[in-house]
Amino acid sequence: MYYKNDLEIAKKRIKAWWEGEIIDRVAISVTAPRDGVKPRAIPKPFDSNNFFSRWTNIEYNMEVAEENIRSTYWGGEALPNFMPNLGPSIFAVWLGCELKFGEDTSWAEPIKIDDPNRFSLNFDKNNKWWKLIKDYTRAATIKGKDKFFVKITDLHPGGDALSTIRGTENFCMDTITYPNKVKEWMSFVNKVWFEIYEELYKITKSQGQEGSFGWLVWAPGKTYPVSDDFLALISPKMFKEFFWDASKEQCEYLDYAIFHLDGPQCIVHLDLLLEMPKLRGIQWEPGDGHRPMTKWVHILKKIQQRRKILHLTVEPYEIEILLGELSPKGIMFNCICSTEEEAKELLKKASKWSTNST
C-alpha cells in the first residue's frame, strides 16, 4: 500500500488481535505527523460559510483527506483510511429525517408524529442522501485503490436511530407507552441495517479491497462496531426487551463484531453484552471527564476474564501502566503521538512491555 510499507505485518497483528492473541507484541495503532511533510491547502470551490457544499462536495473532501493521509505517519497497526461521512445521524435521515449541517457536525431533525401507533417507518432507496453516500463510497474506493482503505460510513441504527426520529424524550416514553410499536420499529431498522451494510460493503470491495473497515478498525472479513448509545438511558431489563435481539443479530451476521460501549452510564449493560457468543470484544470509551483509561482497570480485567478482546483509545504513557495490569493478548491500543520519532520509540518499547505484562 502506497502510504503503508509494512502493511502485511500490520494485518497479521490485527488478525491475531481479533483472535485474542499476539504475534510479537501488543497491537498498537499509533499515528503522528509525518516528518517533513505538511498537508497542502486545498482551495475551497465554495464559500467557506456554505456548510452544505463543504459537507457534500465529494471531490474536495477526498482531496483534503488524502492530503491528511499523506502527511500522517501510520505506525504499528494504524492503516491509512478514509470514511465517506455525512455525520452521525445519517441512518435516521435515510428513514425520513431532515439533515442539517453545521461547520463541524451535522444532525437530523425529529419527525413530527401525532400518533405513533399509526406511524410506520420507510426506507426509500431513492433518498438523495442514501444515493449520495453510495456515490461518495464508490468514488473513494476508486481514488483509494492501493493507497488507503475505505471505511463504511458512520451507522447508528437501533435505539439511536429511533430516538433521533422521535426525539429522545418521546422515544423514552414510547418504550413504556407503545412497547409493541417500538419492537416493530426495531425489527424494521435492523432489516434496513443489514441491507445498507451489505450494499456499502460490496462497494468497498469493488476495487479489490481486502476485508472491511468499520469506523473503528479493519478486519479480514465483515466487521462493524455494534452500538447503541441510547442504552445510557435505560435499564438492562429494557435493553433485553427492546434492543438485545438486534445487537445479537448484528453480531451473528458480522464475521468480526465488537461493541462500542460509550460512557459509565452504559456499564450496567456489560454483563448482558459479555453473554453474546458471537461478540468478539468491547471498545470501551469512558467519555469526556472520565479518563484516564487507567481508572477502568477493574472493568477491563472483567472483560478479559470473559475471553473478550479490547479496543482502547489511550494516551501513549498509559500503555505501559495498563500492560502492568492486563494481558497483552487481545488488546488493541489506539493513540496519537506528537512526532514520528515518538511513535516509533513507543512501538519499540511495546515489545518489552508485552513480555513483562500479566
Counting every residue, how long is the chain?
Answer: 358
Helical axes 179-205 vs 128-144, angle rounded to 10°: 30
Q: Can you say whether the dihedral through the CA atoms of 164, 170, 172, 174 is positive or negative?
A: negative
Q: What are phi and psi of 139, to 5 degrees?
A: -65, -40
Domain range for 152 is 7-356
C-alpha cell read off for 7: 502493511
Q: Residues 210, 211, 217, CA angle at the centre, nearest 5°? A: 120
Residue 95 lies in a domain: yes
Whether residue 356 is predicted with pLDDT greater than 90 in this model: the reply is no
Q: How far apart are CA 214 and CA 222, in angstroms?
A: 9
Q: Which residues contact 219 (CB under 8 A, 6 or more apart)?
A: 14, 18, 211, 212, 213, 255, 256
Q: Which residues contact 100 (CB under 8 A, 6 or more apart)?
A: 106, 107, 108, 109
HSE-CB for 358 with a 13 A CA cutoff: 15
Residue 2 lies in a domain: no
Residue 1 lies in a domain: no
Work out the pLDDT band at 355, boundaries 50, 70, 90: confident
Question: Which whole number is the average pLDDT over 140-156?
Answer: 97
Work out the pLDDT band at 357, boundaries 50, 70, 90: low
Whether residue 7 is predicted with pLDDT greater than 60 in this model: the reply is yes
Residue 273 lies in a domain: yes
Task: Write the CATH number for 157.
Answer: 3.20.20.210
C-alpha cell read off for 218: 479493519
Question: Which whole number is the average pLDDT over 197-218?
Answer: 97
Nearest to 75 by CA among 329, 283, 348: 348
Residue at grid coordinates 483510511: 81
245 forms bridges with which residues in the sheet? none
pTM: 0.95
Residue 124 lies in a domain: yes
DSSP state of 145: T
Nearest to 333 by CA among 38, 357, 247, 341: 357
Give tens-digit pLDDT for 59-109. 999 999 999 999 999 999 999 999 999 999 999 999 999 999 999 999 999
Residue 116 lies in a domain: yes
108 forms bridges with which residues in the sheet? 99
Question: Which whole number is the average pLDDT over 214-232?
Answer: 97
Give tens-digit pLDDT for 236-264. 999 999 999 999 999 999 999 999 999 99
Number of domains in the chain: 1
Residue 229 lies in a domain: yes
DSSP state of 94: H
Report the percent of the chain where pLDDT is more than 90: 97
311 forms bridges with which residues in the sheet? 283, 332
Residue 72 lies in a domain: yes
